[in-house]
Every structure is written in structure tokens, then in C-alpha cells.
Amino acid sequence: MARDSYTCAGCGLVRMDHEVDHIIGLEQQGSNADDNLQLLCRKHTGGDGCHAIKTKDEAKARAGGV
């Protein structure tokens, strides 16, 4: 978190409660290496955060949706 200055990689929000996210998921042969990790926010004011949005998009892609 300190490496990324507590900044969300998706929207630039600076907070201390972001999720550590795998850019390439472990199930897609991604790793726990630092260059495969990013911070994504949990929640925006009035909506889902970047982590929830990325997770939903990945689920749609796995299901063959658009």
C-alpha cells in the first residue's frame, strides 16, 4: 500500500482501506509478485468501488457475457 501511496489504480482515490488486487488472477496463472498487484478502492460515494467493478467485469467475461 505504501508503494502505491494508498492510491487506487482505477480512479486515483487516496485512502487507507483499499483492496489489494491481482492484475492477472491466480486462477489465470497470475502470481503474487509485486508487479501483479495493485490497489483498488472498495467503494465510491454512492456506488461500487473499482474492485467490485473489476470483479463483476471478470465474472461476465468468464461467463461469456459482454
38, 21 in Cβ contact below 8 A? yes
Q: What is the pLDDT of residue 65?
A: 66
- Which amino acid, one-letter code, is at 59? A
Spell out the per-residue pLDDT of the chain, length 66, in tens: 999 999 999 999 999 999 999 999 998 899 999 999 999 999 877 789 999 999 999 889 888 865
Q: How many domains does the chain have?
A: 1
Print the domain residue range for 5.
Answer: 1-66
Q: What pTM does this model have?
A: 0.83
Cα separation, 48 vs 59, in Å, equals 15
CB proximity list for 7: less than 8 A, separation 6 or greater: 13, 14, 39
The CA-based angle 29-60-21, given to 5 degrees, is 45
Cα separation, 18 vs 46, in Å, equals 16
Hey, what's the cell of 27?
Answer: 486462477
Q: What is the pLDDT of residue 50?
A: 94
